[in-house]
Amino acid sequence: MRDLEYVAAVTATTGGGRALWLGGIAVPHRRLVLRWLRRQALRLADGHGRDLPPASPWLRARDVRQITFHGSDAPEGLRAWARDEGRQDEAISALESGCPALLTVVDPAVGLHVTLAGWPVGPDRPLATRAHHSYSPP
C-alpha cells in the first residue's frame, strides 16, 4: 500500500470568526487531491438552495458537509475555479513544487469564507510559499 502523501480539506469561517470543518481526505497522489477538491467545489456550488448530489463512490472518500450560501457570488466562484483548466494547472503545479493549493471564496452577504486546500505531507516535504487564489465579487 502506498503512503498517503497528500491531504485536502474544506473549511468555512463565519463572519463572526467561527471556523467550521466541512470535510477532508488523505490520498497518495496530487491528482486525487485536485479531483476531490474540484468535486467538492461543484457539490457545494450545485447544492446552493438544493439537496446535495449523491456521495462519491471512488476511494470511499467522504464528501463535505453542505453549507448555506446567502448569495450567488461564492457558488459562482467555486464553479469558475472548478471549470477553469488554467487554474487547475496552477493548482497541480503548486502541489508538484511542494506548495499548498488554496482557493477561498467569499459570501459577502454574511462574510462567510469557504477555503478549499490541498497540500503535500511528510517529513521530507519542504515548507514553501503558499499559492493562494481568492475570488471576491467586483
Domain assignments of the chain as residue spans, ordered by start: 6-135
In tens, the pLDDT along 49-96 reads 556 556 555 545 678 888 889 889 999 999 999 999 999 999 999 999
Which residues lie across from 132 on neighbouring strands? 102
**What ranges in 47-71 are assigned the alpha helix state H?**
none
Which residue from 135, 50, 127, 123 is spatially nearest to 84, judged by alpha carbons?
135
Q: Say whether 49 sits in a helix, a strand or coil.
A: coil
What's the pLDDT band for 124 if we cut at 50, 70, 90? low
Mean pLDDT in the chain?
82
Nine cell digits for residue 54: 449523491
Position 58 scores a pLDDT of: 55
Q: What angle do CA 106, 110, 111 make, to 5 degrees?
A: 45
User: Contacts for 53-62 with beta carbons within 8 Å, 24 or more apart?
Assistant: 59/25, 59/27, 59/32, 61/25, 61/27, 61/36, 62/23, 62/25
Query: Residue 67: what pLDDT?
Result: 87
Determine contact, residues 32/5, Cβ cutoff 8 Å: no
Residue 120 has pLDDT above 80, yes or no: yes
